[in-house]
Structure formats: C-alpha cells, structure tokens
Amino acid sequence: MTTPHLARDLLDVADVIHTAEEVAAGVSRVAKEITEKLGDCNPLLLCVMSGGVPFAGHLMTQLDFPLEFDYMHVTRYGQDTSGGALSWRSAPWTPVKDRTVLILDDILDEGLTLAAIVERMNELGAKACYTAVATDKLNGKKKPIKADFVALTVPDRFVFGYGMDVRGLYRNLPAIYAMKEE
C-alpha cells in the first residue's frame, strides 16, 4: 500500500499531459460525434470497469438521446504498471444480442483488451459494436483495433488520472498526468 505521503510525491513530480479543461473539451467533442452516429438507435453503453467510470459518467450526461447503460469488468493490469493475462471479472447483465453497443474505456494502449471485448460482444450477437476511449496512447505499436471515438491522445508514457491509476491511486483526478521520465 502506498502511503499518502508517497502518493503526493508521485503527483508532485508528474507532468500534466492534459488539463481538466482539455479533458472536458475532448469528452464534449466525442459526445457530439457519438450523438451524430448513434443518436437514433437506442444504444447499449457498456463501461469497462474501473478505468472507464469517469469517462462514462461525464460522457453520458452529454448524450441527450435514449440509451441503456451497463458495465463489465475486464482487465490486463490490476494494480500493475504493465499488462498481463486478460481477466474477465464481470460480464454485462444486459443482453447484447441484436443491439448496437458502445464500449467506453479509459485508454487504448496496446488494444488487446478492447479488441477482446469487441470480439466477445460480436460472439454474443451484437448488431453493431462501437468503441469510445478517453485516451489513445501514441505508442507506435500496431494495435489490433482502432477506437471509433477518441477524446484525447497521450504520449507513450505511463499516464494516470481521469480513470487511469498509478499503484491503484489517482483514478479520481480530472486531469491526465504522466510519470516523470527517468
């Protein structure tokens, strides 16, 4: 467990990548794009826990069309700083068969988790499956999926805030930070 003092030290030396205002503007832009594309189809929004919560919460308040909401918990990270095996902790309770689904997540990093989720939704019979992420990491890697809606891009660094954590902390920050480069 990280002490409050060590947690503050992490934040004190971090670099601000996107301010809270920039994050809010990116989410608003994506809300307009989603409204144009999905506003007439009563989509099922699926939040990927835990990182997608801030993005999903802020985004949903800007979507003024009928929709349903549910969540799933799929992760490769836990509290680690690098990805591991995919862990399906909770599936959505709402059936996806014959539905237009919009997956909401915090970051498109290597794309393995999001690609696996889309594959699973298609296996379950989704009519269409779209993806929206708060951030897309510009890591130069070939990703198995491209998000349909992206609020912001982030550099190839360890980022946290706005749903993304560092050592289990700081998902609650309204801005996005990066660990200091060594």
- Residues with a catalytic annotation lie at 109
- What is the CB neighbour count within 10 angstroms for residue 31? 20
Q: CA distances (Å), 44 to each of 69, 81, 118, 180, in order?
A: 6, 30, 13, 38
DSSP secondary structure string for all residues of 56-109: HHHHHTT--S--EEEEEEEES-TT-SS--S-EEEE--SS--TT-EEEEEEEEES
